[in-house]
């Protein structure tokens, strides 16, 4: 083959290959970004995902991507209880990272492998944990040290070395706070809570666990919250509050089954069985002990420990063989360097030209994409403003406009009234109606100004309405119960609608219920804001119930907020129930789609 043809073929291969592999590498890296919380909450799915990603990385000769995928696969397999497969994957990942001299990843893999051995072989667990910590400290890998210190503290706790465990947990928590690590902080807080409980300092234990709860309640997966249930149960057991401890273990047990977390399920069964035995409920204790034994049988036996040792020996042997191969390969590379130098320079020039051209096209594409996104946001903003204007005009027309029309008609009718006493009475009525109209206008303006409003501001306005109604009506008594613990943001449109719904509900009850007491309750669920107006009046016959203006207004306003409205009644009183999705407090409706303000 002519030399020129050979150069052309090699050049074409190196010119095209980076482009073909670029998309594959991006896909592999994207899958490897899946976080710990998702993996432990979706074990079967995660095993399948990372097995495919390992295979795909090997097909594309992407060593780094293969190693990361193997490490993630090892985590999913270990939590699933498939320890031998997990060890094989993790040790293979360590081999690749060491070959690539990626000490950041290598320290984490060693630490993770050591942590996974903690209940099977504590000696090997300490060995690999120390290797991981040593590498991280040598290269000042602060982020890695947060998890390594935490996990090493667990090993010290298992060895009943409380002072050492407390030292490493505190050290890890200090680093995490400096990094504002919301994922890692709860782990360290839980371990310190466990230590305080063991020392009988239960108040400190609950303080640390409460802080952990406040962070984990924001997580997407259920694994962290389930783990916290076990910690609460452990503390209540230490306090000799066995009934409360059993309830927490049962909650953790059910969630552990859903998450397919064998160790958590096994541990919960064991603790429940022991507590039932301590409280004399031997039948329940026997049932839970049988369940515990079924899970216990899945743990590694002595043969599995032998396999682990064999894997470690194979790993060390492979490492030595690889070092010999690398030396032989280095000698071969030296003999090829002179031949490939010219080709390498030429290919580098071609590659750089293509990368430059590709980046230029990509940059132009990103600019066009940003331009389209900005145009879309402007259109959405205009739509939102249009809807706000329509709602404002509707509010003014329906309330203030109708009130003014009534007043004008009333004034026109005064012309034909000859009786001065009757005329004064009519004028007084129009004056009262005018003041009410001004109050309605002020309430509308107040609500529409609340761009950054929330439920607490709404409750203050309701208290103000309660006082005004109390001055006019001596009876019934109005009681306001605010059961909303979280501060929920509310936009101006939602604020106005909610206030009008409550105002209409209270006025209807005052006018028609003949009640002694009206109770307004505001509460929340995970997704909804809930409002109930309950009176102890004469009730209404729901079979003959007709929706007048008041109930129709409430129903329409609920519909505008994508909420629902119901009414129930008995001879002992009537209850209005309104449920509004929380997302409507920060979202506006645009052409039937929810868009975040």
> Where exactly are the structural domains of the chain?
182-297, 453-596
CA distance 353 to 575: 74
Reported as a single tens digit per residue, the pLDDT across 19-30 is: 546 788 989 999
- Is the pLDDT assigned to residue 311 strictly greater than 70? no
Mean predicted confidence (pLDDT) in 206-210? 91
Q: Which residue has the tokens 């004028």?
A: 427
- Three-state DSSP string of 159-201: CCCHHHHHHHHHHHHHHHHHHCCCCCHHHHHHHHHHHHHHCCC
Mean predicted confidence (pLDDT) in 160-174? 90
The model's pTM is 0.41
The per-residue pLDDT for 218 is 85
Of 122-136, 182-196, 381-395, 523-537, the least confident = 381-395
Nearest to 245 by CA among 266, 231, 226, 264: 231
Pairing of strands 517-524, 477-482: parallel
- 570-594 burial, b at 16+ Cβ within 10 Å, e below that, comes to eeebbbbebbbbbebbebbbbeeee
Q: Is the peptide bond before 370 cis (omega within 30 degrees of 0)?
A: no
Reported as a single tens digit per residue, the pLDDT across 238-296 is: 899 999 999 999 999 998 888 888 888 888 999 999 999 998 999 998 898 888 887 77
Nearest to 543 by CA among 563, 572, 522, 568: 568
Q: What fold characterizes domain 182-297?
A: 1.25.40
Reported as a single tens digit per residue, the pLDDT across 419-435 is: 666 667 666 666 766 66
- Stated as kind and residue range, the H or E segment containing 595 is strand 593-596
- Is the pLDDT assigned to residue 213 strictly greater than 60? yes
Residue with more model confidence, 331 or 74: 74
Second CATH level (architecture) for the domain 453-596: 2-Layer Sandwich (3.30)
Q: How confident is the model at residue 595 (pLDDT cuts 50, 70, 90)?
A: very low
Mean predicted confidence (pLDDT) in 481-498? 88
CA distance 489 to 596: 12
Mean predicted confidence (pLDDT) in 506-530? 91
Mean predicted confidence (pLDDT) in 489-514? 88
The per-residue pLDDT for 308 is 57
Nearest to 66 by CA among 48, 47, 90, 34: 90
The per-residue pLDDT for 38 is 85
Nearest to 575 by CA among 519, 497, 500: 519
- State what percent of residues in the chain have pLDDT above 70: 76
Mean pLDDT estimate for the chain: 81
- Is the pLDDT assigned to residue 15 strictly greater than 50? no
Token pair, residue 326, equals: 């690398």
């Amino acid at each position: 083959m002519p030399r020129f043809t050979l150069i052309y073929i090699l050049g074409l291969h190196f010119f095209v290959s980076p482009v073909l592999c670029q998309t594959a590498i991006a896909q592999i890296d994207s899958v490897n970004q899946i976080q710990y919380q998702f993996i432990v909450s979706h074990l079967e799915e995660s095993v399948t995902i990372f097995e495919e990603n390992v295979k795909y990385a090997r097909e594309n000769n992407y060593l780094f991507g293969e190693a990361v995928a193997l490490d993630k696969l090892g985590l999913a397999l270990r939590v699933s209880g498939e320890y031998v497969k997990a060890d094989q994957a993790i040790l293979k990942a360590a081999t690749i990272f060491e070959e690539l001299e990626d000490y950041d990843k290598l320290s984490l893999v060693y630490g993770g492998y050591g942590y996974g051995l903690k209940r099977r072989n504590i000696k090997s667990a300490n060995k690999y944990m120390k290797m991981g910590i040593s590498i991280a400290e040598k290269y000042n890998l602060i982020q890695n040290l947060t998890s390594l210190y935490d996990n090493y503290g667990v090993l010290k706790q298992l060895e009943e070395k409380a002072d050492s465990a407390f030292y490493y947990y505190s050290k890890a928590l200090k680093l995490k706070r400096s990094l504002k690590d919301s994922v890692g902080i709860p782990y360290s807080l839980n371990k310190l809570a466990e230590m305080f409980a063991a020392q009988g300092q239960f108040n400190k234990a609950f303080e640390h666990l409460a802080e952990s709860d406040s962070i984990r309640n924001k997580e997407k997966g259920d694994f962290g919250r389930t783990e916290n249930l076990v910690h609460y149960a452990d503390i209540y057991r230490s306090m000799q509050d066995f009934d409360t401890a059993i309830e927490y273990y049962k909650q953790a047990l059910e969630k552990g089954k859903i998450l397919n977390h064998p160790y958590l399920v096994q541990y919960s069964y064991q603790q429940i069985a022991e507590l039932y035995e301590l409280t004399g409920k031997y039948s329940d204790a026997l049932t839970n002990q049988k369940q515990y034994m079924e899970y216990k049988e899945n743990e590694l036996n002595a043969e599995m420990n032998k396999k682990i040792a064999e894997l470690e020996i194979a790993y060390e042997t492979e490492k030595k063989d690889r070092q010999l191969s690398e030396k032989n390969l280095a000698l071969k590379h030296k003999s090829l360097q002179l031949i490939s130098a010219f080709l390498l320079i030429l290919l580098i020039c071609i590659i750089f030209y293509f990368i430059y051209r590709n980046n230029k096209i990509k940059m132009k594409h990103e600019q066009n994409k940003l331009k389209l996104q900005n145009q879309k946001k402007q259109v959405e903003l205009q739509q939102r403003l249009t809807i706000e204007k329509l709602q404002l005009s509707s509010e003014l027309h329906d309330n203030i406009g109708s009130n003014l029309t009534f007043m004008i008609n009333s004034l026109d009718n005064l012309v034909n009234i000859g009786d001065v006493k009757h005329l004064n009475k009519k004028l007084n009525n129009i004056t009262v109606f005018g003041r009410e109209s001004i109050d309605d206008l002020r309430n509308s303006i107040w609500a529409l100004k609340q761009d950054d409003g929330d439920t607490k501001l709404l409750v203050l306005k309701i208290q103000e309405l309660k006082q005004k109604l109390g001055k006019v009506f001596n009876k019934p008594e109005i009681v306001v119960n605010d059961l909303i613990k979280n501060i929920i943001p509310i936009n101006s449109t939602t604020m106005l609608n909610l206030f009008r719904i409550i105002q209409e509900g209270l006025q209807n009850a005052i006018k028609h219920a003949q009640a002694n007491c009206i109770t307004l309750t505001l509460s929340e669920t995970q997704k909804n804001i809930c409002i109930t107006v309950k009176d102890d009046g004469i009730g209404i016959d729901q079979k003959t119930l007709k929706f007048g203006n008041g109930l129709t207004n409430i129903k329409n306003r609920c519909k505008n907020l994508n909420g629902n409205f119901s009414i129930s009644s008995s001879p002992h009183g009537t209850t209005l129930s309104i449920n509004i999705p929380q997302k409507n407090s920060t979202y506006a409706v645009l052409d039937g789609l929810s868009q975040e303000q």
